[in-house]
Amino acid sequence: MCKSLVLFICLMMLSSSQLFAEQWKFEVSPYLWAVSQQGQTGYIDRNGQPVNVDIDMSFSEIFENLDGAVLVNFQAEKGNWNMWVDLVYMKLKYDAKVDNVSAELTAKQKLLDVVAAYRFARQGDMHWYSFMGVRFVDVNNQLDVRIVDQRLTPNFGDNWLDPLFGLKNKWVINESFYLNSRAELGGFGVGSDLSWALNFTLNQNLSDNWDLKYSFRYIDLDYQDNDFLFDMASSGFGVGVTYQF
């Protein structure tokens, strides 16, 4: 990890003259993600017993139980450098089962990515980037369990920071369309045990300032620490609008 960081800093220093010579380009993209989730979350109770909740929700179920969401991407580009910040926040309420007992789970999930990428090769219409960054993950759950005349409302969750490394390809198809493809690995025991993700985004140019984005995203997080478990795969298609300036 330290070697990768040193290499990244060296690349930044070597390209500093180009950074000063070229103009910054910015874009902001609010978007919708038709996400489905499969996995498990849970905690260790005061008696040392695991309490796990299985999750298998399609997009229609998530949309029906969505209690709030914010999804936005901000990017900056200059020369060979591309940086982005991506925020996903969702609040969900849905029915669940804990040890065959009916319950309601309120889940708040926040993912914030801060990433810097460097273009190391260009072959015709193909642009290749390596990138590194961090992802902040914050999960806060509350169970509402009713057993006869008793009502239990335990809160459980955690937050952590994952390092990210990966490759990105930009394929300029024609004057109106280009495709961004991205693969990443993260965690490595620093935060989550392991995380990995794939992202494909087709950009359609509408004007000098406006684009449409059509995407597919898959992200898998495997975290278990501080008596908290979050082993979740999230995937789905997305659509967004981009303003460039």
Q: What is the pLDDT of residues 84-115, one digit of tens each?
A: 999 999 998 877 777 777 788 899 999 999 99
Q: Output the pTM of the full model.
A: 0.87
* pLDDT tens column, 12-71: 545 544 555 679 999 999 999 999 999 999 999 888 889 888 888 888 888 888 888 999
How is domain 23-244 classified at the architecture level of CATH? Beta Barrel (2.40)
Categorize the per-residue pLDDT at 151 as very low, low, confident or very high, splitting at 50, 70 and 90: confident
pLDDT for position 192: 97
Pick from 205, 207, 133, 215: nearest CA to 175: 205
Higher pLDDT among residues 64 and 211, named by residue: 211
Neighbour-count burial of 193, counting CB atoms closer than 10 A to its CB (0-12 exposed, 13-18 middle, 19+ buried): middle
CB atoms within 10 A of CB 141: 22
What H or E segment, with its residue span, contains residue 4?
helix 2-14
Please write down the HEC assignment for all residues of 141-175: EEEEEEECCEEECCEEEEEEEEEEEEEEEEEECCC
